[in-house]
Amino acid sequence: MAIQTVTTHPIPGQRPGTSGLRKKVHTFSQPHYLENFIQSVFYTLGDCAGKTLVLGGDGRYHNRAAIQTILKMAAAHGYAQVLVGRSGILSTPAVSCVIRKRQASGGIILSASHNPGGPDGDFGVKYNIAAGGPAPESVTEAIFHHSETITQYRISDAADIDIDTIGTVQLDGMQVEVIDPVADYAELMARLFDFEAIRALFAGGFTMRFDGMHAVSGPYAKAIIEGMLGAPAGTVINAVPLEDFGGHHPDPNPVNASELIALMAAADAPDFGAASDGDGDRNMILGRKFDVTPSDSLAILAANAAVAPGYRGGLKGIARSMPTSRAADRVAAALGIPCYETPTGWKFFGTLLDAGMATLCGEESYGTGSDHVREKDGVWAVLFWLNLLAASGKPVQQIVAEHWARFGRHYYSRHDYEAIDSEGARLLMADLRIKLPALAGTVLNAHTVDFADDFAYTDPVDGSTVQQQGVRIVMRDGSRIVYRLSGTGTEGATLRVYLELFEADPTQHHRPTQQALAGLIAAAESVASIALHTGRATPTVIT
């Protein structure tokens, strides 16, 4: 066995997006593609000698092959140890948990999150830092710059190792420890939540379905919800991770989790429904014939955080991404704690969590989490809701309705125009930016514009700044329209239009969402000429 130096050349397009480098499997499996990117990561990190790396993924197609390559490259760069999840499986929040618990220097997550998997699907690589969270922009940009000038990479020529058996093996002088993917994570959950109360809830006949969507959260949900909490077998459905997620789109929203939505609408629907995404960091929360928006979920968990032992000491602050509704802001105001507004992307919460300024974080894109790790966490959110349901004894819908009655309701929806022409999308945003200065004071479908801008952010902890994070039009009545181009797509561009309408009056809290937002939807089209620029009369996905 020896370390090889392989000659290569830069391959364009290796700039990480909102959440790591995501490309089609066909792109990732071409010669040198993965190796170039991983070498660029190691160049950026500098001296890796003697360090520990955590490695795992969501089990999608190409996961196992990529793990073998990365192990051999880690050995060639002098890592002392790599902790790899059995069979290459580790959810994104579990990687974050293991990095922190084992004091590793960082981790590599192989996932394209909720994007479809399989030979024609997507693959992705993301580097997480020692704090457990996604690398900040300074690191991802440095990786990209290395990828533009790379001429060689180092890799061991050792044979593939067995990653399906728990235990320790040597690889060219490096120790590879194959770990149980669930154990450390489950132990952390048991410390945060009142498992006794949740066990009593299930023992009393409470019913639930958790949809693992044939992705990574299945093993975690089975071990914790059925195993530790005593829910009946069959509570977790689609629990076995498959390389192509069973041909489905592992994105927990009412459009893609249609099987679960149908179950929750049936006459014999369970009391509670939940789902997670490809890599286990997203969550969707459902009651009977009722879905909780991610923005409301964040606000409700924040308002009720004291039910969970891990949060009984109070919250230091709440953070949400800019397009996420302002429901959480009202809770923060009531609690007398700050609410931070960050750009889209979980990485922007890292500094706030590290500095002890925020405890709970959330995004409209079905992401919720806290300072327990540095990623959003699907199973964690579900356990938090179970804890709340056990403590309150009320159904999901009643908890939400009571929250609205107290704080007001933020009607909220996101309209996505997927895989549109990139140039059309660029022009739409450029035209919109030109219009911004003239919008203040104008009336859009009975909503008077308070201000309109292109969201820029200065991190209050490290002072770093980012520009052009989404165009927002904010009305005097508290409504908003936000336009953003997705940073996670792999085909053309995706335009996201986020719509939010505040309603204080409880008699007006039970209207169909799209109906309540109709005026804002029409205003969004009239300001941005969406149909003209995208060639689409309607969105591809409405959540």
Catalytic sites, residue numbers: 113
Find, among 323, 307, 315, 260, the residue nearest to 287 by Cα.
260
209 strand-pairing partners: 273
> Using CA atoms, how far apart are residues 58 and 40, in angstroms rounded to an integer?
22
Coil, strand or helix at 9:
coil
Coil, strand or helix at 163:
coil
Give the residue with the Cβ less far from ligand G6P, 444 or 481. Answer: 481
Q: By beta-carbon distance, which residue lies closest to Zn ion?
A: 113
Give the residue with the Cβ less far from Zn ion, 194 or 279. Answer: 279
With contacts defined by CB under 6 A, name the span among 299-307, 362-370, 426-434, 472-480 that binds ligand G6P. 362-370
CB 415, CB 536: distance < 8 Å = no
> Using CA atoms, how far apart are residues 223 and 201, in angstroms rounded to an integer?
17
> Using CA atoms, how far apart are residues 293 and 400, in angstroms rounded to an integer?
10
Binding residues with Zn ion: total (CB under 5 A)? 5
Q: Is 18 in the site for ligand G6P (CB under 6 A)?
A: yes
Q: Is 363 in the site for ligand G6P (CB under 6 A)?
A: yes
Helices 294-303 and 396-407 pack at an angle, to 10 degrees, of: 80
Interface pattern 339-378 for Zn ion (x via CB under 5 A): ----------------------------------------
* Beta carbons within 8 Å of 157's beta carbon, 6+ residues apart: 1, 2, 3, 4, 72
> Using CA atoms, how far apart are residues 94 and 71, in angstroms rounded to an integer?
19
Q: Is 96 in the site for Zn ion (CB under 5 A)?
A: no
Sign for the CA dihedral angle at 105, 149, 486, 240 comes to: negative
Residues 113-142 that bind ligand G6P (CB under 6 A): 113
Give the residue with the Cβ less far from Zn ion, 378 or 408. Answer: 378
Interface pattern 428-467 for ligand G6P (x via CB under 6 A): ----------------------------------------
Tell me which of 44, 52, 63, 113 binds Zn ion, using CB under 5 A: 113
First-residue to last-residue Cα distance in the chain = 52
Kindly state the smallest distance separating residue 347's Cβ from ligand G6P, in Å.
Answer: 7
Cβ-based neighbour number of residue 261 at 10 Å: 19
Tell me which of 452, 496, 516, 521 binds ligand G6P, using CB under 6 A: 496
DSSP class of residue 390 equals H
> Using CA atoms, how far apart are residues 255 and 246, in angstroms rounded to an integer?
16
Interface pattern 272-301 for Zn ion (x via CB under 5 A): -----x-x-xx-------------------
Give the residue with the Cβ less far from ligand G6P, 58 or 363. Answer: 363
Give the residue with the Cβ less far from ligand G6P, 64 or 410. Answer: 410
With contacts defined by CB under 6 A, name the span among 363-371, 398-406, 440-448, 523-531 that binds ligand G6P. 363-371
- Amino acid identity of residue 118, one-letter, is G
Q: Is 367 in the site for ligand G6P (CB under 6 A)?
A: yes
Choose from Zn ion, ligand G6P, none: what does 279 bind? Cβ within 5-8 Å by kind: Zn ion
Q: Is 395 in the site for ligand G6P (CB under 6 A)?
A: no
CB 408, CB 479: distance < 8 Å = no
Q: Is 488 in the site for ligand G6P (CB under 6 A)?
A: yes
Q: Is 251 in the site for ligand G6P (CB under 6 A)?
A: no
7 strand-pairing partners: 152
Residues in the chain, how many? Answer: 543
Give the residue with the Cβ less far from ligand G6P, 52 or 344. Answer: 344
Kindly state the smallest distance separating residue 482's Cβ from ligand G6P, in Å.
Answer: 11
Binding residues with ligand G6P: total (CB under 6 A)? 13
Q: In the sheet that 493-503 helps form, which strands lie side by side, from edge to edge?
A: 443-444, 447-454, 471-475, 480-485, 493-503, 409-420, 541-542
Token reading at 372: 């327990």
Kindly state the smallest distance separating residue 47's Cβ from ligand G6P, in Å.
Answer: 29
Contact footprint for ligand G6P (CB under 6 A): 18-19, 113, 344-346, 363, 365, 367, 486-488, 496
